[in-house]
Amino acid sequence: MRVLRRLFGLAEPALSDGPGLDDAAQGRQRKWVIEPVRVGFVARAQELWRYRRILWFFSERRIKERYEDTTLGKFWLFARPLMPVVIGTVIFGRMLEVPSDGVPYFLFYLAGMSCWRIFERSVLWVTRSLDQNRGLIKKVYFPRLIAPISSVAPAATEFGVLFILLLVAIAYYYVHDGVFYLRVGPQLLVALGAVSMAAFLAIAVGLWTSVLQVRHKDVQYSIRYFTQLWQYVTPVIFPLSSIPERFRFIAFLNPMTSVVEMYKWALLGIGEFPGAELIAGLAITLVIFATGAVYFTRSEAASVDRL
Amino acid sequence: MDSLVVDGLGKCYMLGRESEGKSTRSFWQRLRSPLAGAAESTSGTRQFWALKDVSFRVEPGTILGIIGPNGAGKTTLLKILAHVITPTTGRVVGVGRVVSLLELGAGFDPDLPARDNILMNAAILGITRHEAQRRIPEILEFAEVEQFVTSPLRHYSSGMYLRLAFSVAIHMNPQILLADEILAVGDSAFQERCLQKVAELGRNGLTVLFVSHDMDAILRICNRVMWLHSGEARRLGDPEEVVDEYQNAVWSQADIGQSERGRRSNRLAEILSVRLVSAAGRDIGGAPASEDTFIKIRFRTAKPSLSVKCALDLSTKGQLIFRTSDEQARRLGEAGVYEALAKIPRDLLAELPYVATVGCIFKKDDETKEYPLVIYNALSFLVFATEQPDLPASGRLDRVGFIAPKLEWTVREEVPVARA
């Protein structure tokens, strides 16, 4: 128990009152302490909550800098995420004739991709987050966790774009084929849950990779291949039903399987609700997050020295 | 109650194989001089104490000046107090909001306009959006950048950047202000206003930690002064006494600590110091681009009737920009202390940090042999501009290259050459 308390920082709340933030509204003059002790995750999380307002600034900045200096600004916003879906549809749907659980392959793939994209892009950006915020991190104090968390924002934007495209595609198929593929109902909340879980898992993975990337630049080069590989063991291109029964256990080890399956089940009503996989996936996600959070907060000081 | 209590503060960096990244090495270079004292081992990593066992207390309203040669740990101390880096040993207890001016434009996003930057800074310091918005006009007015609210900060001159940074800092109601050499940049009129403002806020209970190489400024506004040397607090006390003692030490033993290579004394003479001074002869930490500045080399001769010829190399970003030397050897009289001044004309250098390497060649009148002295990287300084920015589109074009001389331009219609 003591180990846990130490790990999660329940024991040392003193540093959470770091300089920089005081309760301006009440005009109270907070006393703060700086010590060499490592601060645990819970103390960091509390601090993060007090600083929550700057999350917005960081998120906004991340999104703006993506599209600011492009001439076609808004066009890229839609084109970038859509391009791989169109290419994938042609290759996998038309040429390889991958099955798609009875819905048009384009819809199947677009739905899978929109959910996968928020995970993949988040992992990439969160990994680079400490580097990208180097200028601020080395000069002013704010909870360092803000850097990785705010990096989910551009990925969330891309998700929003893909989701809009998905709705457009559904409308198109309704007009054209007369089939309305969207399942309207309370289970849409499950889709929201799936997307949140994808983002959460991305942060969990990113807590590890962002710190590792400061130490080993190799991470920067390999992370792309890592996420690509991960995509191939996630039912985005192919339906889970096309995997032979004896390989299904792999799905249990990959939390993204249940996320993507759950998402497609909720939106398009295809596949099955992944019950057991979801529980396994949640457990694995929580383990990655908990260890990542401890790792991140414990190596925070050393990472800043290295940046 | 003290507003800041620092107890046994130390910061140790592990240097060597494990952290041989690019960023570490440049950090390394900055701290080269105190490394003479760092433990060296063959295992590839070594410990380097940037700050060792520093303790002091500051009462509210104190303006504490922090002086010392480059690499003495001044910036490390401020960064720890600003909560940017974590100390290795010791403890700091403080009261109230800390605002830091660690470096020019630190905490600003060059792509955002002044307004957004103010709001972001305020948010980081825990000030509500509403409150911050209320203060924006005051901040812009003090910084004298009202006309440029909408242009992104990358179009600002360094002087405007500084004015905005300082103005933001003091309008955030800090209880503790950390200022690192920042007032070295900026035109003298604004420097004056800053110093007055700092002194005024000090009287109202603001605690200021003020790092500077400008002894005049230190003496004018500080109530106490701490002299850091190789990470240790060598003296702490009355400004006049500490500054006197520090300057004596600097003058007498040549504080050209940044350089280990080179040769600073021989049997004829010894170079005592290399400094950047203004036209008025005042030590300055940065050179305003629009004013003449001087590099002053002080040396002591051991023999009478010598002649000397001085030269200097100016480099930036590791590139040698030019080498220049005195046109002729100058005759010196009795043995004693002399100073050589090289004028850097205004509107020559760009807004960059420069490093000067100086050399002096001494010759006895009755000998043909020459005795050269060279001090590598004897002086580093920042050149800053104070003028207003150009039109946004052309603003960036103006800041390319290693020097920024003003040339005489004429544009006229071509006179056609008459053909026979």
User: What token pair was written down for B153?
Assistant: 């900060």
Q: Is residue A210 part of a domain?
A: yes
Mean pLDDT, rounded, for A204-229: 89
Residue type, B384: F
- Domain residues for A185? 51-306
In a domain, A18, yes or no: no
Q: Helix A218-232 crosses helix A105-132 at what angle (to 10 degrees)?
A: 160
Rg (CA), chain B: 24
Distance of CA A287 to the CA centre of its chain: 16
Instruction: Using DSSP, state whether B337 is helix, strand or coil.
Output: strand
| Residues on chain A touching B129 (C-beta within 8 angstroms) | 53
Query: CA B335 → CA A127, B233, B331, B353, B367, distances in Å?
Result: 64, 36, 12, 35, 17
Q: Which of A36, A54, A304 sits opposite B84 (nearest CB)?
A: A304
- Write out chain A residues lying below 8 Å of B176, CB-based: 19
Residue-wise pLDDT for A129-157, tens only, equals 888 888 788 888 888 888 999 999 988 98
Q: What is the dihedral of CA A9, A15, A21, A26, to 10 degrees?
A: 90
Phi/psi of residue B173, each to 5°?
50, 55
Range name among A149-153, B129-133, B152-156 with the lowest pLDDT average: B152-156
Both structure tokens of B161: 């950047």
**Residue A20 — left, alpha, or beta (φ > 0 → left; ψ -120 to 50 → alpha)?**
left
Domain-located, residue A138: yes
Distance CA B292, CA B282 (A): 12
In a domain, A39, yes or no: no
The total number of residues shown for chain B amounts to 420
pLDDT score for A7: 47
Q: Please name the amino acid found at residue B217.
A: A
Sheet of strand B4-16: strand arrangement: A31-34, B89-95, B4-16, B45-58
Assess if residue A24 is contained within a domain: no
Contact status, residue B4 vs residue B60, Cβ threshold 8 Å: no
Instruction: Work out the burial of residue B108: count CB atoms within 10 Å of its CB; fewer than 13 is exposed, 13-18 middle, 19 or more buried.
Output: buried
Closest by CA position to B173, among listed B211, B127, B117, B208: B127
pLDDT tens digits for range A77-91: 778 778 888 888 888
Higher pLDDT, A307 or A158: A158
Collect all residues of chain A within an 8 Å Cβ-Cβ radius of residue B21: 217, 306
> pTM for the complete prediction?
0.69
d(CA B280, CA B287): 13
Task: Please give the single-letter amino acid code of residue A243.
Answer: I
In a domain, A38, yes or no: no
At B383-413, the pLDDT tens digits run 877 665 554 444 445 567 788 888 888 998 8
What percent of chain B is predicted at pLDDT more than 90? 9
C-alpha span between B307 and A242 (Å, rounded): 92
B-chain residue closest to A39, CA distance: B86
**CA–CA gap between residue B178 and residue B94 (Å, rounded):** 13
Instruction: Flag whether A194 is in a domain.
Output: yes
DSSP B17: G
Please state the domain count of chain A.
1
Domain assignment of residue A131, yes or no = yes
Residues 61-90 of A with CB under 8 A from B: 61, 64-65, 68
Report the DSSP pairing between strands B63-67 and B207-211: parallel
Minimal Cβ distance to B126: which of A21, A139, A300? A21
